[in-house]
Structure 1
Amino acid sequence: MRMRDTFIKPMHPEGRRFVAIFAAITLVLFLLWEPLGWLGVILTIWCYYFFRDPERVTPARPGLVISPADGIVSLIEKAVPPAELGMSDMALTRVSVFMSVFNCHVNRAPVAGKVTAVAYRPGKFFNASLDKASVDNERNSLCIEMPDGRQLAVVQIAGLVARRIVCFVKPGDTVQTGGRFGLIRFGSRLDVYLPPGVEPLVSIGQTMVAGESIIAELSMIGDRTE
């Protein structure tokens, strides 16, 4: 890998408009007062960095649930998947990954399968690290049916600063593990609802890398007790 590639990452097309806006404002700030212009330069670089979309190497071993987001595991608890997905009302293990404004915000599919439902629900904008964010905040939910018939839910949740959830897939689409399926702008959270009997292999506070970090193994059912 070249040294340049360590610092310069590809940018997702969703970010081009925002970087252009930041750059235009920066030019105006330079005309008004040079120190403000340099502040604009810093903010423009941050905007580019926010929308970075680096390549990821997804583990090839089948049967893994991969993190859909960069960030920190903030919650692990039992919860019922969003009602709008039409899944069972059984409480499943939910693993929440909180993304700060410094994390890469491109979201990746935790498993391979067919998208059977995509449901957007408007809501509030509480801090995404809070438990109530899963219920009250704006969200976009996906149900992915795996080849063995089991279902997994992944939910994009807007945060205190986030005001835009973007989803690239629709019902009927097929996703691959680690494939890009959406992004959220400016700080947010992803919830993964594991299939019944599947326990997480992560702990609260653990750092996740989207498309690479392993959350759970689908074959490990009943190996761990509450």
Structure 2
Amino acid sequence: MKFHKEGYTSLAITVLVILIANAIADYYDAPGVIKWIIYILSAFLFITIVQFFRSPTKQIVVQEGTILCPADGKVVVIEETEENEYFHDRRLQVSIFMSPINVHVNRNPISGIVSYFKYHPGKFLVAWHPKSSTDNERTTVVVKNANGVEVLFRQIAGALARRIVWYVKENDHVTQGSEFGFIKFGSRVDLFLPLGTQIDVNIGDKVVGGKTIIGKL
């Protein structure tokens, strides 16, 4: 288990706040009950930050023809829908909601070349809102595999997620299971797959990024 690099600043700020709060309590000789409340809150805050930015070490097995889960969380959408940003046609959408207790590392679902990338500023609706996929702050990534099949996936900010981080750009070669980004706090990842794609998960399933197979192309 590692601590993700995106959490360094948050951890430093948390430690500073804890030190200041405890120093003030000691300096003014706060009553014992107040000190214990501060100690407990400090421990809770520290543990929350550490668990949120944890980054488990995973042995990724690259499997051509499969779609690897891009994030930890729960499957909340499996439906045919219109994709109007890049494909402009009907696609099969699979959406994964990440709660604040999930690992928030985002991984490439397939290997290939990044044929499209765009960042969209936007709103911060709750991640499960139907319009979050089109109205919220988000990134759109399209990867084309060796067979010319393209898969589109989006990082979508939620009501708490106020920072999306990405590590890819157009024409990059990416490997299935490698990190393509990180979203801070509750958020969502959408996949848009060709119609006819075999889907191996169901709505409500808990999935693991880099481990669960979403389906087969």
TM-score, structure 1 length as denominator? 0.88
User: Can you list the C-alpha shifts for 1:99-139, whole angstroms capped at 9, x where unaligned?
Assistant: 00000001000000101111011111111012221121111
Residue 182 of structure 1 is matched in structure 2 by 181
Q: 1:59, CA displacement in angstroms?
A: 3.7
Residue 19 of structure 1 is matched in structure 2 by 11
User: Can you list the C-alpha shifts for 1:165-198, whole angstroms capped at 9, x where unaligned?
Assistant: 0001111111111110100001100001112321
Q: Please say if 1:117 is aligned against 2:116.
A: yes
* Partner secondary structure for residue 80 of structure 1: strand
User: Can you list the C-alpha shifts for 1:140-186, whole angstroms capped at 9, x where unaligned?
Assistant: 01000111001000100000100000001111111111110100001
Of residues 44, 49, 52, the one that matches 1:50 is: 52
Letter in 2 for 1:39: L
Residue 28 of structure 2 is matched in structure 1 by none
Q: Please say if 1:77 is aligned against 2:76.
A: no
Give the number of the structure whose alpha-carbon radius of gyration is greater. 2
* Partner secondary structure for residue 45 of structure 2: helix
Letter in 1 for 2:21: L
Compute the RMSD of aligned alpha carbons: 1.3
Of residues 22, 28, 39, the one that matches 2:41 is: 39
Q: Which runs of 5+ in 2 are unaligned?
A: 26-34
Q: Distance in 2 between matches of 1:114 and 1:82?
A: 21
Q: 1:61, CA displacement in angstroms?
A: 3.4
Residue 140 of structure 1 is matched in structure 2 by 139
Q: Distance in 2 between matches of 1:174 and 1:80?
A: 27
* Partner secondary structure for residue 141 of structure 2: strand
* Partner secondary structure for residue 148 of structure 1: coil
Letter in 1 for 2:196: G
Q: Distance in 2 between matches of 1:54 and 1:119?
A: 28
Q: 1:82, CA displacement in angstroms?
A: 5.0
* Distance 1:63-1:88 versus aligned 2 partners, 3 A rule: same
Residues 64 and 110, structure 2, Cα contact 8 Å, conserved in 1: no
Letter in 2 for 1:211: G
Residue 65 of structure 2 is matched in structure 1 by 63
Moved over 6 A (4+): none
Residues 60 and 211, structure 2, Cα contact 8 Å, conserved in 1: yes
Residues 62 and 177, structure 2, Cα contact 8 Å, conserved in 1: no
Letter in 1 for 2:188: R
* Partner secondary structure for residue 40 of structure 1: helix
Q: Distance in 2 between matches of 1:37 and 1:25?
A: 12
Q: Does 128-137 or 158-167 show the bigger shift?
A: 128-137
Q: 1:20, CA displacement in angstroms?
A: 0.8
Q: Please say if 1:171 is aligned against 2:163.
A: no
Residue 30 of structure 2 is matched in structure 1 by none
* Partner secondary structure for residue 154 of structure 1: strand
Letter in 2 for 1:15: G
* Partner secondary structure for residue 103 of structure 1: coil
TM-score, structure 2 length as denominator? 0.91
| % identical equivalent positions | 39
Q: Please say if 1:206 is aligned against 2:209.
A: no
